[in-house]
Structure 1
Amino acid sequence: MVERKDKFSISSDEELMFYLSSGEVLAFDELYTRYNKSMMMYFTRMLNFDKNLAEDALQDLFLKIAEFPEKFDCSRSFKTWIFSIASNTCKNFYRHKNIVTNSQIELYNTNTKVNESAFLNLANKIDGLEFRRMLEETLNELPPEKKEAFILKYQEEKTISEIAAIQDCPEGSVKSRLHYTLKILETKLNIFNPVIQ
């Protein structure tokens, strides 16, 4: 038994999915141990800090993995795949609650460049608690796909191509969503007098 547990603890995520699809339940336990905390944090942020909804989403996510491990494409990254499922779970929630509005205006002004590093430097310099409170408040007002793109890029540290895969959209759409979000944040957080060049 100890040897089987050790086998799973040193296996890659993709190998664990192979074992799980072959009926080895301990592989699922290992995946849950590796991902439950980070996915709970993701759901908590995406679902407006509603802990109950986040817990429901987490349970739904791992239930899908346990029930349909054969849906995992071994040629893909497990990390990207699990975030894709999580993303779809959030999208379904927003659809159900009618939070996604019919008009989602893409603000993309190619003449105005957002200074990303100035925004991130600002976040590190000012009063952390107040900034985080205002940041979360502003993010919660955004359309879900823009909020998610921001969280994936700046809190989950995903690349543009990873975000495009998770959100199932072109990389250009991801860049546009990030640009829009940063412009909104610049405007809403101007109380802190950021120096944007």
Structure 2
Amino acid sequence: MTDYSADTDESLALRSTTDHDAFGALVGRYEQKLYRYVRRITDASHEECEDILQEIFLKTYRYLHNFDDSLSFSSWIYRIAHNETISHFRKRSVRPQTIREEDGTLYLQNIEADMDIAAEIDTKALQQQIQKILDTLGPKYKDVLLLRYLEEKNYQEISDILKIPVKTVGTRINRAKKQLHQSITEQGLFITP
């Protein structure tokens, strides 16, 4: 088997149309990342996440010939993952509402650092309240926060994944953070000095 460790994702994607092992290398690089992403935006069981992941890789392979090399492969496959996950839940007529508890702490820590509120809050109690508040955010705000703070994507990558302008990404993140901050303040979750 060929060693693909030095290859970029984009070069592997181009080679994958004729080299099945190259596609296997891409699957190896993205399997755990995409599994975590699907788990973070859904309330799906392990088995259901595995099914969604399988569909993601099937669609990725099926549409490799359409890969737009002006995008990063990462943005392209996350776009497929996002669409496939949402499509799966539309079929069930349920919009995913939950961010997994094991991810909640990381999510909260990243938002706290960006909002500079870490020193002012009791993280454990806030985590439960934040989950309730996040569940009230609309999907367009929740999606950008998830991609920014859990998946650690930059604005351009989020733009590519959600197919919205970069400025819209920034606007949505700012509005979502303001909504979070306002809800947190209204619920008295800040500890005032």
Query: What fraction of aligned residue pairs are identical, expressed as a percent?
Result: 30
- 1:12 aligned partner: 8
TM superposition shift of 1:170: 2.0
Separation of aligned partners in 2, 1:18 and 1:156: 25
Seen in structure 2, the aligned counterparts of structure 1 residues 132 and 36 have a Cα distance that, compared at 3 Å, is farther
8 Å CA contact 2:112, 2:118 repeated in 1: no
Seen in structure 2, the aligned counterparts of structure 1 residues 117 and 142 have a Cα distance that, compared at 3 Å, is closer
Instruction: Return the letter of the residue paired with 2:190.
Output: N
Separation of aligned partners in 2, 1:124 and 1:33: 39
Structure 1 stretches (4+) deviating beyond 6 angstroms?
Answer: none
Residue ranges of structure 2 left out of the alignment (5+ in a row): 96-110
Separation of aligned partners in 2, 1:181 and 1:50: 28
- The size of the alignment, in residue pairs, is 175
Separation of aligned partners in 2, 1:174 and 1:194: 30
8 Å CA contact 2:148, 2:154 repeated in 1: yes
Seen in structure 2, the aligned counterparts of structure 1 residues 84 and 124 have a Cα distance that, compared at 3 Å, is farther
Task: State which of 169, 190, 193 in structure 2 corresponds to 1:193.
Answer: 190
- The two structures have a TM-score, normalised by structure 2, of 0.75
- The two structures have a TM-score, normalised by structure 1, of 0.74
Task: State which of 158, 163, 179 in structure 2 corresponds to 1:163.
Answer: 158
Residue ranges of structure 1 left out of the alignment (5+ in a row): 101-115
Are 2:54 and 1:33 equivalent residues in the alignment? no
Query: Any residues of structure 2 matched to 1:1-197 within 5 Å, and which?
Result: 1=1, 4=2, 6=3, 8-22=4-18, 24-48=19-43, 50-99=45-94, 120-123=115-118, 126-190=121-185, 191-193=188-190
Greater CA deviation, 44-53 or 148-157?
44-53
Instruction: Return the letter of the residue paired with 1:43.
Output: V
CA RMSD of aligned residues (A): 2.7
Instruction: Return the letter of the residue paired with 2:40.
Output: R
8 Å CA contact 2:141, 2:172 repeated in 1: yes
Seen in structure 2, the aligned counterparts of structure 1 residues 57 and 194 have a Cα distance that, compared at 3 Å, is farther
8 Å CA contact 1:119, 1:186 repeated in 2: no
Separation of aligned partners in 2, 1:123 and 1:155: 17
